[in-house]
Amino acid sequence: MVMVWLLAFAIPSGVAAHGRMTMPANRVGGELDTVGDHNCRYSYDSSVTHSKANMCGYMTRITNPPHWPPTNCDAKYLTTTFRTHKNGGCNDKKDGIFSPWRSPGTAPVWSPCGYFGGYKKSDKNFEKAVSTSFQDGNSMPKSKVKKWARGTDHRVGFTITVNHGGGYIWRVCPKSKTLSEQCMQDHVLEFIGKKTTVHWKDGHEQSFDALELSKGTHPSGSTWRVNQIPCCKSTAMEPCTGCHGKAYHNTKESQEDDWQFSLIDHVMIPSSMAKGEYVLGWRWDNENQEQVWTNCADIEIVDASESSDVLLFNETLV
């Protein structure tokens, strides 16, 4: 793939996969076993053709919250250099970019499943991608469907290739409804437990205390988890030993700053949720980029006796 980005904080040519869902397997390729892999693929099906051209680079670019001032200014929730600015850089627009994580959930997106490269076809800056028929993640073929039992919690995870700080949320939209950002916002999933588990590609794990933000978020009161992996030579400390990318303490991220791990959390599927097919959505609002990264996967909500969500590794929820 060849794509040119003429922007400050430019995305390196040939690398669009700055973040993607790894658990469950998402529509555009990528699982726990494929972290650190720019060319997204499925470990269970090497024949999938839509994953061959770095098709995991799905996002909305050049997007910001619609209103000033920001709602997220506390240095506690920032992991980039903005945490050292007065009031988190929220006093003046010139003090830092007005990025999505400054008012979580309010920055508009092209699609809740992302657009390949972050452009929409009608956008004047759109540059032709390899596979034009798969521009919108919503149009991608279904992923391997996971059956999730209602009334219990389930594991979700994502990995990042180049870290832009910020925070993330998980949502669902019933397939009986039109898939949209509004539908996702109407069905935000609750995080369960106080820990995030770092699951490395080689199988070893560590956990750290999750940091959540519910004030000044959208939808109102929705809970987001902070991406606590330090970014961009900030004063933030790694949340656990070795829990950082290769560019930790460097002034700039590198396109080779591959995370060899996923961040795993638990989310609750309420017992009141209707059985049926759903689209699961992950949204990552960036802190030092004007970008929102999104992926979708396909799940089916069932009764406990029908669930296919089996334990893959040991975790303690406290």
The answer for residues whose C-beta is within 8 angstroms of residue 5's C-beta and 6 or more apart is 11, 13
- Residue 139 inside a domain? The answer is yes
For residue 318, tell me if it sits in a domain: no
* Residue 213: predicted pLDDT: 98
Q: What Rg, from alpha-carbon coordinates, does the chain have?
A: 18
Nearest to 104 by CA among 171, 57, 153: 171
Q: Tell me, what's the pLDDT at 150?
A: 95
Residue 78 in any domain: the answer is: yes
The answer as to whether 4 is a domain residue is no
Half-sphere exposure of 56 (CA within 13 A, CB side): 31
Is 65 domain-assigned?
Answer: yes
| 216 touches 71 (CB < 8 A) | yes
Domain range spanning residue 150?
A: 19-306
Report if residue 211 sits inside a domain. Answer: yes
Written as tens digits, the pLDDT of the chain (318 aa) is 223 222 333 333 333 458 899 999 888 877 888 887 666 777 776 665 544 444 567 899 889 999 988 999 999 999 887 888 888 888 877 776 789 999 999 999 989 999 887 776 666 555 544 445 557 888 888 888 999 999 999 999 999 888 888 999 999 999 999 999 999 999 999 999 999 999 998 899 999 999 999 999 999 999 999 999 887 667 778 899 888 876 555 555 554 456 789 999 999 999 999 999 999 999 999 998 899 999 999 999 999 888 777 544 445 555
Residue 10 counted as domain residue: no
Owner of token pair 């999933």: 189
Q: Among positive and negative, which fits the CA dihedral 178, 139, 114, 155?
A: positive
Residue 32: C-alpha distances to residues 38, 143, 161, 201, 250 (Å): 13, 14, 13, 7, 26
Q: Are 196 and 83 in contact (CB under 8 A)?
A: no
What pLDDT score was predicted for residue 288?
84
- Count of domains for the chain: 1
Q: What is the pLDDT of residue 296?
A: 94
In a domain, 13, yes or no: no
pLDDT of residue 191: 98
Degrees to nearest 5, angle at CA 60 with 56 and 64: 145
